[in-house]
Amino acid sequence: MATDPASSDSPARSATPTRSTGPTTRSRWPTAPARRSSRRAARRGFFLTVDYAFGHALERDVTAVVEANGCKVLGSVRHPLNTSDFSSFLVQAQASKAQVIGLANAGGDTINSIKQAAEFGLVKGGQKLAGLLVFVTDVHSIGLHLAQGLQLTEATYWDLNDGTRALGESAGAPSATAANRAASTPGSTPRPSTISRRSRPPDTDDADKVMATMKATPTDDPLFGKGYIRADGRKIHNMYLFEVKTPAESKAPYDTTS
């Protein structure tokens, strides 16, 4: 059971009868900003992509969505993993005249590319940044003055609804800590307990029977809401597209997106 994988290929290429891929699989996270940008007349895109299999997969998946919505990918530039200087890559992205720059990277690379994009004036110049794998903790680290307007996709958000807020409170965590937990490791919290309480047949550890029951049993938990497990083992639930607030719109330290 993979509760927090980061590959779009894992379910399709390694599916087995008793394999389940957890709810935070990144396979469809990037596509929401692509669809929204396409529908809002952003007809030209460009990718800033980390140069290994993970980044290549992000770029590939989003390119398919962009082109399916009648938009054009003008090109891409690939940067080394954990680079500190994005200047040459951002200059190429800026020169592309693309309306949206898709950040097909993660972690420190995403944080540094967003900060440096602000220094180079990409957003002020009219280009939009779309983070393909960004967490609320990343936004907090970057700061709203630099990240404002960034589009990102999340499976949950600490202030999304009464259920997510109650989960943080029940853990005895202040809102900032609850936000960090919900953003960084959401897949590891509810899924194992949901399976053990609701999906496991009584008095058996037969993997085939357990998986059959899991697939037949809808899920519902405080972080992800209602969902189900597909025949190929992939967990399905809602995904949410957020946009980073301006500093004036934020009312608390982790009140970062809407």
* Domain residue extents for the chain: 30-132
Question: Looking at the predicted structure, is the pLDDT value of residue 41 above 60?
Answer: no
Tokens in use for 70?
């009648």
Question: Looking at the predicted structure, is the pLDDT value of residue 225 above 80?
Answer: yes
The pLDDT tens digits for 146-180 are: 999 998 888 888 888 888 777 767 765 555 555 55
Residue 8 confidence class, pLDDT cut points 50, 70, 90:
low
| Alpha-carbon gap, residue 214 to 219, rounded angstroms | 9
Pairing of strands 100-104, 128-131: parallel
Question: Looking at the predicted structure, is the pLDDT value of residue 14 above 60?
Answer: no
Exposure string for 32-43, b = 16+ CB within 10 A, e = fewer: bbbbbbbeeebe
Residues 6+ apart with CB under 8 A from 182: 136, 156, 157, 158, 164, 167, 168, 223
Name 104's bridge partners. 49
Confidence (pLDDT) at 161:
85
Class of CATH domain 30-132: alpha beta
Confidence (pLDDT) at 25:
44
Residues 17, 23, 58: CA angle, nearest 5 degrees: 100
The pLDDT tens digits for 236-249 are: 888 888 889 999 99
